[in-house]
Amino acid sequence: MRGVALALGGGGVRGYAHLGVLTVLEEAGIPIRGLAGSSAGALAASAYAFGHKDPWKVHEAIFDEEMAKLSRSGGLRALSRLYRALRRPALAEPARVAEGLRALFGDALLEESPIPLALQAADLLTGEGVVLRRGPVWKAVLASMAIPGILPPVAWEGRLLVDGDVAEKVPVQAAKALFPKVVAVDVSNPPPQEAPRTALEAALLAGEASRRRLKELALQKADLVLSLDPPFPIDTFDHEKLPLVYALGKQRAQERLKEIQALSRVRLKDLLQALRPRG
């Protein structure tokens, strides 16, 4: 069967680049046989599968000013917000995001998706990766996007689920379960070039380095890796960069289009293997 599955990674506002990638593949006539997404990738995968392909409309549906302020906070304001966060379950309230996701997806279920969907989340208590294939789309996306400390965990069938990036930033394994040929789209920022200035920064960088290593191991299982490679770091909540990341996603897909087209074709040896009698 022609086509590819895509594993769409997390990255906040950088995740809108996924819709740019998908637009290019659609225009090139490459069949999308499955979509696996983590965090922002879960939003992009679900939005595209259910026909919401305009990044500005998706953004308008879920935009939360309180979360956007996180990219503009600095100095005493940042310390004030951190102090408040330590006294409550999460820094941001989930109501606005949940309301927007409900408006976007309504009562749609993952299992009803025209394109097979798999959304990556993580169990906060055990650290296990949890791949969601059934249930309300809006709630599954909310769970996959629930950045610990920013949004509260989402209760799901006896588990407390948080951001899929905790388990697998680019869900290649989940995509492979949907279709054997996988294009992984990594929208990570480039690694930092400056040494940490504080103990907190050092701790955060250490955690990020660990997640980066796990991501690289996951990407090795993909058939092709498409990296956003932004020209400068783009903050998770810097929504003013949406036009830039969307255009960059289209550009990166165009640059690798011939490779993706070659991967999407039916190879003779695969066809012969599929037709070979079993037993």
Residues that are catalytic: 39, 163
E strands, 193-249, are 224-227
Q: What are phi and psi of 216, to 5 degrees?
A: -65, -40
Q: What are phi and psi of 120, to 5 degrees?
A: -90, 130
Q: Determine the Cα–Cα distance for residues 111 and 262; give it in Å rounded to an integer.
A: 29
Q: Determine the Cα–Cα distance for residues 122 and 143; give it in Å rounded to an integer.
A: 8
Q: Determine the Cα–Cα distance for residues 12 and 181; give it in Å rounded to an integer.
A: 26
Q: Determine the Cα–Cα distance for residues 53 and 19; give it in Å rounded to an integer.
A: 7
